[in-house]
Structure 1
Amino acid sequence: MSLPPARSPLEPAIVPGDDPREFAAVLHAVYDAARSGDRLPARPRSVIGESWERAATAGVDPEHGSVDEPLGASDVEQRRTESGLADVLESITGNLDVLVSGSDNVLIVADASGHVLWRAGGSHVLRRADHLGFTEGASWAERNVGTNAIGTALASRQAVQVFSAEHFVRTHHAWTCTGAPIRDPRTGDVLGVVDVSGPAPSIHPATLALVDSVARLTEAQLRDAHRIRLDLLRSVAAPILARSGSPAVAVDPHGWVAAVDRVSPRTRVSLPRDFSAGRSYIGDLGPCDVEPLPGGWLLRVTRPDETAVTTHVDLVEAADGTAVVQVDSASGSWVLRPSPRHFQILGLLAANPAGLTAAELSAHLFGSADRTVTVRAEMSRLRRRLGGLMAASPYRFADGVSVGVPPAAA
């Protein structure tokens, strides 16, 4: 796995020994001069000045910010599922509890677009955050509310502390906020931001280092989880590779290599954007038969004149009455034992090869189309287990996958 991009040195808004009230007064003078076009009595920090320019270019109202409506509850829940941060949320909140418990601070975890997905804090500070629009589903991207720790951390891709009048929107000047981006160790992309916000006088320079450390720890946990998933993929792929009869590589959905056989060692394979089971041209591997594995893909290097393979899935009931998914391809077989609910979903998708939307699945499963949040969460878990067998928008079996299903499964 590649190392994460280098981060800029941490630059807290104040340094030990500074008087927050005196410094806030200076910042207010700088802010007022910048808004009126007068000569600045001092220069803002570069990360703040650059953010002010972006906010002004985006047309952010410095008095009130954006009036965009927050996302609805179902959209927030879907973003939580898709964020990649749900599994590490408990660790984030636990490591920052010292800054939140019994204090005037609120802890925020936002996604890569700047939308607030989770928040924690005392009831009094949450009520104050409500008045500011700091609620679940609200967007705190710079284009909506200007300079703030969430949006500016996303824009600058570094940890940032924003104090008092460094905020672009005047109503935020009573606050200080500290945010750090969390990157996906598999891709280097930013997954979201962890932020701690509270009254401006409560600012402390050490908060920036602590929040950034928690973001880095979270990335390390995500990296460890990825290694575990690669190990599980390797355990399934190794016996299949051993009897595949041709050069082959087992990769996860992002192209990270779990195992190779008769192929030069490598850590990652570049996968095409439009990628599914069947015949595909894979970078320097050339033409490959692509077969789904639990948690990834088997790329079997082929000759152009070979016939493309089809993966077959059988949904069966074992002798003990439990559900079994039997997957067969040219290179081998593997078995998955799904939950009864997942087996029911697979049966529905097999009976509807064109696919079903979340609302349609909800109607089949629960007799009502309004339980899409539950359906999306179940499908997210199912797709993690079945890897390339499943496709989305609408939910369906992937191209190149044939399915056999007993009547009871549907």
Structure 2
Amino acid sequence: MGSGADTRANPWAALRPDEDAEQVGTDVSAAHESFVERGEAPATLRRVVQASWVRSRGNGIDPDRQIGRTALTGVELERYRRTHPMSAVRPVVQTLLVEDARDTGLLIALSDAHGRLLWVEGDSAAKDRAADMNFVDGADWSEAAVGTNAPGTALALDHCVQIFGAEHYSRVVHPWSCAAGPVHDPATGRILGAIDITGGPRVAAPEVLSLIKATVAVAESELRAHPVGTHTAPRVELLGPQPVLVFGSERITLSRRHSEILLLLMEHPEGLSTEHIAVLLDERDLDAVTVRAEISRLRRILGGDTLGSRPYRLLAELDSDVGELRRSLRRGDIAGAVAGYRGQLLPAARAPGVVRARESLRARMRAAVLTSRDPAILGWWIASVDGREDRGAWAAYLASLDRNSSLYAQVAAQLAMLDRELGGR
């Protein structure tokens, strides 16, 4: 794969003012073919595009398949975008971009921070054509979902960028060009979403990227002057199979690594060094550079005023389901703890520091359940993944039941079976 120096004055722009767009388009098409077929790309290809192609391939994107999975529809989409912070900048974007886009072949799109398209507006004929590739309200156009594209790649890199024709990883998008920039919460620095212009080859002109930058600046100025709850304190949910970060009505799915790091920081309010985090994540000495890169990405999600450095630490206690559960246990509210224990703490995680926290929380839950001697609570525990093979819990449940009940006989039989199975191990 080529790796020559990028000689462009502005590598984020698709074209230089003096370049022949038709020739560049031909060259990029050849580069795309070479990369897809042989994994090679010429050194003349923009480095930002080449890196995005590598990520797209790593994410398993097929350049020849249909793209743009619909993530939100109907009432769910209406409710989500009505309360989303990007709704506050929509009037500005309509004034600056949408009103002049009609009958021009241009589309203006606003996305959330995950690349889900909230609004796609502009030329009606262009909207009809774009619908064929599912560039529509509610569709997921993150880089991870559809490959290289301006809104998705701008969000992935936290930078304004243009994507010209065949620079898109998916071939179905090759007739289009686009320019997009991320919008930040002025109070926290957190990415809220992106503003995108999509259309024909003229969208690759340098002045369109300048227009996107100017529109983003005005949008962020509007948020600074009229904040609409964009800096709501986040809530973390780490119990159960899907870790999420909640900002008001917005639910952000956390990656496994980000959820692990966030838990470790919550477990160590005094702060952690890069090296300590690496050990807690992977006893085989995870690379410190990788840890710093992941924390940098996590900071973009959380916002700049939430995560401190040297050592890495949370600058304020985060509201979380784990914290609520522990508070219930501390005050002896076992029923409340049961209601809040929606599943194991990051059950898929294997990081040593996370496993330790998970087992500690499970042990505290088990102790509280056994202490309760409540048949309903004991029955809930033995039905859970934590208690199915917990002989002590089954014995406690049996002791809580009426000896004359049919349930007593069933539990006794189950306990006997457990004794046979566990005894044979």
Instruction: Report if aligned partners of 1:148, 1:168 keep a CA contact under 8 Å in 2.
Output: yes
- Counting only pairs closer than 5 Å after superposition, residues 13-162 of structure 1 correspond to structure 2 as 13-37=14-38, 39-66=40-67, 68-97=69-98, 100-162=101-163
Match among 318, 322, 327 for residue 273 of structure 1: 318
Q: Which piece of structure 1 moves more, 122-131 or 147-156? A: 122-131
Deviation, 1:16, is 1.0
Distance 2:196 2:70 in 1: 21
Deviation, 1:188, is 1.0
Structure 2 residue identity aligned to 1:58: N
Instruction: Report if aligned partners of 2:179, 2:204 keep a CA contact under 8 Å in 1.
Output: no
Deviation, 1:201, is 5.0
Q: Which residue of 1 aligns with 2:382?
A: none
Are 1:204 and 2:249 matched, yes or no? no
Deviation, 1:40, is 3.5
Q: Identity of counterpart residues, as a percentage?
A: 30
For the residue of structure 1 that corresponds to 2:109, the secondary structure is strand
1:206-264 deviation line (CA, Å, top 9, x unaligned)? 0001111111111111111249999xxxxxxxxxxxxxxxxxxxxxxx999xxxxxxxx
| Gap change, CA 1:271 and 1:201, over 3 Å in 2 | closer
| Gap change, CA 1:275 and 1:146, over 3 Å in 2 | closer
Instruction: Report if aligned partners of 1:30, 1:42 keep a CA contact under 8 Å in 2.
Output: no
1:257-293 deviation line (CA, Å, top 9, x unaligned)? xxxxxxxxxxxx94421289xxxxxxxxxxxxxxxxx
Distance 2:40 2:304 in 1: 53
| Gap change, CA 1:227 and 1:200, over 3 Å in 2 | closer
Q: Which residue of 2 aligns with 1:190?
A: 191
Question: Which structure has the highest strand share of the two?
Answer: 1
Question: Which structure has the highest helix share of the two?
Answer: 2
1:59-116 deviation line (CA, Å, top 9, x unaligned)? 0111125463342122212221342121221111211147513300000001111111
For the residue of structure 2 that corresponds to 1:59, the secondary structure is coil
Q: Which residue of 2 aligns with 1:288?
A: none
Structure 2 residue identity aligned to 1:220: S
Instruction: Report if aligned partners of 2:178, 2:198 keep a CA contact under 8 Å in 1.
Output: yes
| Gap change, CA 1:182 and 1:201, over 3 Å in 2 | closer
Q: Which piece of structure 1 moves more, 13-22 or 73-82? A: 73-82
Distance 1:21 1:55 in 2: 25
Deviation, 1:43, is 3.3
Distance 1:153 1:39 in 2: 24
| RMSD between superposed Cα atoms in Å | 3.0
Instruction: Report if aligned partners of 1:96, 1:211 keep a CA contact under 8 Å in 2.
Output: no
Distance 2:101 2:229 in 1: 32
Runs of at least 4 residues off by over 3 Å = 38-43, 226-230
Structure 2 residue identity aligned to 1:108: A
Structure 2 residue identity aligned to 1:107: I
Structure 2 residue identity aligned to 1:181: P
| Gap change, CA 1:224 and 1:76, over 3 Å in 2 | same
Unaligned runs of 5+ in 2: 1-8, 232-302, 306-313, 322-338, 340-425
Distance 2:34 2:108 in 1: 32
Instruction: Report if aligned partners of 1:65, 1:144 keep a CA contact under 8 Å in 2.
Output: no
Distance 1:126 1:184 in 2: 29
Distance 2:12 2:101 in 1: 22
Instruction: Report if aligned partners of 1:255, 1:270 keep a CA contact under 8 Å in 2.
Output: no
Q: Which residue of 2 aligns with 1:170?
A: 171
| Gap change, CA 1:22 and 1:210, over 3 Å in 2 | same
Distance 2:319 2:160 in 1: 34
* TM-score of the aligned structures, taking structure 2 as reference length: 0.51
* TM-score of the aligned structures, taking structure 1 as reference length: 0.53
Q: How many residues align?
A: 235
Structure 2 residue identity aligned to 1:225: H
Deviation, 1:130, is 0.7
Instruction: Report if aligned partners of 2:185, 2:191 keep a CA contact under 8 Å in 1.
Output: yes
Unaligned runs of 5+ in 1: 1-7, 231-253, 257-268, 277-353, 355-410
Instruction: Report if aligned partners of 1:10, 1:209 keep a CA contact under 8 Å in 2.
Output: no
Structure 1 residue identity aligned to 2:141: W
